[in-house]
Amino acid sequence: MKKIGLLVGGVFLCMVTVYAQSQEGDIPSQKRTLPKSDVHSWNIDERFGFKDSVAVDTLITSYQDNNPVNNYSIANSWNGNLGSPLQSKIYFDRTNKTDYLFSLPYDAYMITPENVSFFSTKTPYSQLVYRSALPKYSEEDYFKALLTMNANKRLNIGGLFNYIYARGQYANQGAELINGGFWMSYENKHYSGNAVIMFNRFKNHENGGISDPAFILNPSSIVGSSSYSSKDIPTNLTGVVSGYNNDIYFYNQRYRFGKDMERKVGEDSVATEFVPISSIIHTIKFENARRRYYETTVPAAFYDSTFLNNSYTNDSSRYWSLKNTVSFTLEEDFNRILHFGLAAFVEYDLRYHALVFDSVTDGYYENHLKVGALISKQKGKILTYDAQGDVYVLGPKAGEFEIFGNIHTVFNVKKDVLRLDAGVGFYNETVNNFVEHFSSNHFRWDNDFKNNLRFNAKVRFSVPTRDVSIGAQMENVTNLVYFNTKGLPEQYDGNVQVVALDAVANVRVWRFHLDNQFVYQYTSNRDILPLPDFSLYSTLYYKDKFFKVLTFQAGVSVRYHTAYYGPVYVPATGQFRVQNEQLIGNYPVLNAYLNFHLKRMRFYVQYAHWNKGLFDLTNYFSMPNYPINPGTFQFGLSWTFYN
């Protein structure tokens, strides 16, 4: 009742504020709202510190879908509980943010230096976000707070705090996430620096999925239970907790060499500006990561293995990396004819890997030395490009290399602009240390795998003015490593091809909109790399503005993918293994929502998965034995402040 009261109060406050502000015609608008140009945001490249402008979070349309899971991919394998491990069902959406194997299931939530948005503001900028999902005792709460400000025109500092506490719609499924940290950016004409301190904390209660799929597929067959809630469905595991922690300390600094030059700014005036010619860059990054898996009792029937300890499980692993990189660049302005930049770097990485079982630590250190070079052109509206190559010259990874490049250009087609983005890459990669060697209460392996070879090519055509884009990607992988039906790593001695075609098409007729994302995937070996053939996210909505200040959106959305033998999550290792027993998919998940946007405030209500039980479709599983959440009522509020 408190949550419903909060919702009603929020709607009432929204309407009162709309009325009040609609009567303020005599107040100049610039006194109520700061221009967006007063807040600038960008990400940086970890190695070189190059800036890449990003939009400030002012999303209006479909704000109800703006959460870490939906932002990661349009289709995911997960247990439906925000904060839980996941893997994208779209092959080219999968990421690898760190070199620690056990971080992969948390990539959707992880904050690394490249994910940090740096700011420059004329006034303090802050944002508060609160989201929740009912029913009571199964709430899913998400809170976010961001604050950033400039001490002067050169120095900005900021902080971010995210908190997720999701009790779960099914038994033994709770999740808790705390991540965030602080950043600082400083820049003058010669020296610039970017500092980041980020922490990521995950705690998950693992239920191993429900023990009997009949509770979802055929509820009437359950003897002695005329009605039950999702919390009443028995699960495979109880008293099992996994945790993952990741801390990152990062500093990138650059000193530019150049000269002051005059440029004409009018008919009779000139201005002096600093033109950088070359730079020396230093980056230091320390990453410390740990994973723990704990069982109060050992589930003998769930894992097909011989236990080292029959009474309880307390496994953990650790990884840390201390990386120093020194780079030298020739800026694009060093050559006024060809206008391209050059860079070279040397990177030294000291790593530590350890497995801990029953307080016994088995750890070792590694020393890696990598060198590489980059040629790029990032200035200009017609053509930009970059090409990079690097190779490990010392250490266990010696001989591992990567070569890749990208090109971006635009063409004028009548009154529209056609943008072309393309890239190609070839990678020779050693297998992850924990895939080679691992020991725990349930799983143990000792492998000597070959390097895997990947060739990747991609192209995308887009018409920004029409909100339409079409893309294609392909990848050929030799010696692919996957987790087999027993949850053990295995290497395929051959080639696997993946081809994906995708399209984004947003259509508008009057005030009605239809926004669509489609992905078609082909995999040459479904047994070791299963992927759904077709996936989509589509939303149909009506959008209008009332009182000249309140933007209103009402619509329905659907997520769908075709049936396939999707992978299943293994709690003890945190990895996703293949299976050939249960088809997943061919089930639409429908949501109905209302969105409101009032100047600096966004507010939504949504009923998710409202079609549960309709059309005689019951196969609402995200993974084998992991059903999607039943129908839930959700709401959220975001408030931005420019003072």
Summarize pLDDT for 412-457 with one digit per residue, the tens: 888 889 999 999 999 999 999 999 999 999 999 999 999 999 999 9
- Are 441 and 462 in contact, with CB atoms under 8 Å apart? no
- Are 346 and 326 in contact, with CB atoms under 8 Å apart? yes
- In terms of Cβ atoms closer than 10 Å to its own Cβ (0-12, 13-18, 19+), residue 336 is exposed
HEC-encoded secondary structure of 470-530: EEEEEEEEECCEEECCCCCEEECCCEEEEEEEEEEEEEEECCEEEEEEEEEEEECCCCCCC
CA dihedral (213, 216, 220, 223) in degrees, to 10, reads: 40
Phi, psi of 231, deg, nearest 5:
-70, -20
pLDDT band per the 50, 70, 90 thresholds, residue 24:
very low
- The pLDDT mean for the chain works out to 91
- Neighbour tally for 8: CB within 10 Å: 10
- The predicted structure's pLDDT at residue 336: 67
- The predicted structure's pLDDT at residue 344: 97
Cβ-proximal residues to 160 (8 Å cutoff; 6+ apart), any chain: 111, 116, 144, 145, 146, 180, 181, 182, 183
On the question of pLDDT at 17 being above 70, the answer is no
Residues, the chain:
643
Task: Choose among 138, 440, 150: nearest CA to 291.
Answer: 440
- The enclosing H or E element of 179 equals strand 175-187
The set of long-range contacts for 474-477, using a CB threshold of 8 Å and a minimum separation of 24, is 474/498, 474/499, 474/500, 475/91, 475/92, 477/452, 477/453
On the question of pLDDT at 21 being above 70, the answer is no
Q: What are the Cα distances from residue 260, in Å, to 186, 361, 460, 535?
A: 20, 58, 39, 54
- Are 138 and 169 in contact, with CB atoms under 8 Å apart? yes
Cβ-proximal residues to 375 (8 Å cutoff; 6+ apart), any chain: 340, 341, 342, 343, 386, 387, 388
Tokens for 123, please give them: 């006034």
- The predicted structure's pLDDT at residue 295: 95
- Are 377 and 383 in contact, with CB atoms under 8 Å apart? yes
HEC-encoded secondary structure of 542-605: EEEEECCCEEEEEEEEEEEECCECCCEEECCCCEEECCCCCCECCCCEEEEEEEEEECCEEEEE
Task: Choose among 70, 142, 154: nearest CA to 118.
Answer: 154
- The predicted structure's pLDDT at residue 538: 98
The set of long-range contacts for 336-340, using a CB threshold of 8 Å and a minimum separation of 24, is 339/377, 339/379, 339/380, 340/375, 340/376, 340/377
On the question of pLDDT at 230 being above 50, the answer is yes
Place of tokens 């990874």: 397
For the residues 350-377, what does the mean pLDDT come to? 92
pLDDT band per the 50, 70, 90 thresholds, residue 265:
low
User: How big is the CA angle at 102 (ends 146 and 162), to the nearest 5 degrees?
Assistant: 15
On the question of pLDDT at 534 being above 90, the answer is yes
For the residues 40-51, what does the mean pLDDT come to? 93
- Are 401 and 423 in contact, with CB atoms under 8 Å apart? no
For the residues 9-26, what does the mean pLDDT come to? 37
- Neighbour tally for 591: CB within 10 Å: 21
What is the C-alpha R_g of the chain? 26
Residue 68 CA to residue 227 CA, distance in Å, equals: 34
Q: Which of 101-115, 270-284, 460-474, 487-501 has the lowest mean pLDDT?
A: 270-284
- The predicted structure's pLDDT at residue 307: 83
pLDDT band per the 50, 70, 90 thresholds, residue 226:
low
Q: Which of 142-156, 306-320, 390-404, 502-516 has the lowest mean pLDDT?
A: 306-320
- The predicted structure's pLDDT at residue 488: 96
- The predicted structure's pLDDT at residue 219: 84
For the residues 295-324, what does the mean pLDDT come to? 90
Domains of the chain: 46-641 (2.40.170.20)
On the question of pLDDT at 570 being above 80, the answer is yes
- Neighbour tally for 415: CB within 10 Å: 6
3-state secondary structure at position 634: strand
The alpha carbon of 494 is separated from its chain's Cα centroid by a whole number of angstroms, namely 30
- The predicted structure's pLDDT at residue 30: 34
Task: Choose among 426, 389, 423: nearest CA to 407.
Answer: 423
For the residues 280-305, what does the mean pLDDT come to? 93
HEC-encoded secondary structure of 91-126: HHHCCCCCCCHHHHHHCCCCCCHHHCCEEEECCCEE
- The predicted structure's pLDDT at residue 116: 96
Q: What is the pLDDT of residues 164-192, one digit of tens each?
A: 999 999 999 999 999 999 999 999 999 99
Residue 496 CA to residue 502 CA, distance in Å, equals: 20
- The predicted structure's pLDDT at residue 338: 67
pLDDT band per the 50, 70, 90 thresholds, residue 59:
confident
Report the first-to-last Cα separation within the chain, whole angstroms.
34
pLDDT band per the 50, 70, 90 thresholds, residue 315:
very high
3-state secondary structure at position 218: coil
Q: Regarding predicted confidence, which is higher, 18 or 375?
A: 375
- The predicted structure's pLDDT at residue 16: 35
On the question of pLDDT at 610 being above 50, the answer is yes
For the residues 7-31, what does the mean pLDDT come to? 37
- The predicted structure's pLDDT at residue 337: 65
Which residues on adjacent β-strands are paired with residue 329? 279, 343
- The predicted structure's pLDDT at residue 11: 39
For the residues 302-318, what does the mean pLDDT come to? 88
Residue 425 CA to residue 453 CA, distance in Å, equals: 11
For the residues 335-343, what does the mean pLDDT come to? 80
- Are 511 and 543 in contact, with CB atoms under 8 Å apart? yes
With residues binned 3-state (H G I as helix, E B as strand, rest as coil), the percentages for the chain, rounded to 5, are: 10, 55, 35
- Are 255 and 191 in contact, with CB atoms under 8 Å apart? yes
- In terms of Cβ atoms closer than 10 Å to its own Cβ (0-12, 13-18, 19+), residue 244 is buried
Residues above pLDDT 90, as percent of the chain: 79
Residue 124 CA to residue 151 CA, distance in Å, equals: 9
Residue 526 CA to residue 496 CA, distance in Å, equals: 9
Residue 182 CA to residue 587 CA, distance in Å, equals: 42
Residue 470 CA to residue 519 CA, distance in Å, equals: 10
Task: Choose among 182, 195, 200: nearest CA to 100.
Answer: 200
- The enclosing H or E element of 617 equals none
- The predicted structure's pLDDT at residue 228: 84
